[in-house]
């Protein structure tokens, strides 16, 4: 059975798309830690990120780096942090989190609920920056 993230990448479940190509898909986390919190996934279904083949893992990170640069250009932050957990959704993904401080990376923090129009505006801005790069 397809994972929820496969359905998102296929457009069967809506998401706030930030970037995509044939192999990878980036979209806003629905319960963000901070504004601009983005998930990057391979379209191919693999649960554990470290089960990806070396070259696919490398390409995923190159794609994520381009997404991170786009995030940093539109969300004021010190740096974009990267985290991998995968405890909730069994489909490999990288969290990209614009940080003001180390505290923004604490997954035990309460999550934000941003209005749909704000989520859309953030995703559109990241996508435009990604496409320009």
Q: What is the DSSP letter of 97?
A: E
Quick check: 89 binds ligand 5GP (CB under 6 A)? yes
- Name the segment binding ligand 5GP (CB under 6 A); options: 25-33, 54-62, 68-76, 122-130: 25-33
Q: In this chain, which of 58, 85, 100, 118 binds ligand 5GP, going by CB under 6 A? A: 85
Quick check: 106 binds ligand 5GP (CB under 6 A)? no
Q: In this chain, which of 22, 54, 55, 88 binds ligand 5GP, going by CB under 6 A? A: 88
Q: In this chain, which of 30, 46, 112, 125 binds ligand 5GP, going by CB under 6 A? A: 30
- Provide, rounded to whole angstroms, the least separation between the CB of residue 106 and ligand 5GP: 13
Task: Give the angle subtended at the CA of 75 by the CAs of 34 and 100, to the nearest 5°.
Answer: 55
CA 128 to chain centre: 15
Q: Where are the beta strands (DSSP E) in 22-93?
A: 24-28, 38-42, 79-83
Quick check: 6 binds ligand 5GP (CB under 6 A)? no
| Dihedral in degrees, nearest 10, Cα atoms 73, 76, 80, 81 | -170
**Which residue lies nearer to ligand 5GP by CB, 55 or 88?**
88
**93 belongs to the catalytic site:** yes
Residues 33-52 that bind ligand 5GP (CB under 6 A): 39
CA 11 to chain centre: 16
> How far is the C-alpha of 104 from the C-alpha of 17, rounded, in Å?
22
Do 26 and 38 meet the contact criterion of CB atoms below 8 Å apart?
yes
Catalytic positions: 93
The residues that touch ligand 5GP, with contacts defined as CB under 6 A, are 4, 15, 27-31, 39, 85-89
């Amino acid at each position: 059975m397809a994972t929820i993230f496969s359905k998102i990448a296929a457009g069967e479940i809506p998401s706030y798309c930030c970037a995509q190509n044939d192999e990878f898909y980036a979209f806003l986390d629905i319960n963000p830690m901070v504004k601009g919190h983005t998930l990057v996934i391979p379209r191919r279904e693999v649960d554990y990120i470290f089960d990806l083949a070396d070259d696919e893992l490398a390409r995923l990170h190159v794609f994520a780096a381009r997404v991170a640069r786009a995030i940093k250009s539109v969300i004021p932050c010190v740096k974009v942090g990267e985290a991998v957990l995968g405890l909730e959704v069994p489909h490999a993904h990288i969290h990209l989190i614009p940080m003001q401080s180390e505290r923004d990376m604490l997954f035990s923090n309460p999550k934000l609920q941003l209005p749909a129009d704000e989520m859309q505006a953030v995703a559109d801005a990241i996508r435009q920056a990604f496409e320009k790069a």
